[in-house]
Amino acid sequence: MKNIGKLQRASRKVKNHLIDVLYSLNKGRGRGWITLILIVLALSFTLFLNDTQQPDSAFSALEVVKIIDGDTIDVLLENGETARVRLIGVNTPERGRPYFSESTAYTKGKLLGKQIYLEFDVAKKDRHQRFLAYIWLIPPPNYDMPSLEEIKSNMFNTQLLLSGYGQVMTLPPNVKYQDYFLTFEREARENKRGLWK
Which residues are marked as active site? 86, 94, 130
Beta bridge mates, 83? 75
Q: What angle do CA 31, 33, 38 make, to 5 degrees?
A: 85
Which residues 6+ apart lie within 8 Å of 175 measured at CB? 89, 121
Polymer length of the chain = 197
Kindly give the pairing relationship between strand 131-136 and strand 115-119: antiparallel
Which residues 6+ apart lie within 8 Å of 50 measured at CB? 11
Nearest to 110 by CA among 90, 135, 88, 133: 135
Taking the alpha carbons of 146, 148, 152, 157 in that order, is the dihedral positive or negative?
A: positive
Question: How many CA atoms lie within 13 Å of 32's alpha carbon, on the beta-carbon side?
Answer: 1
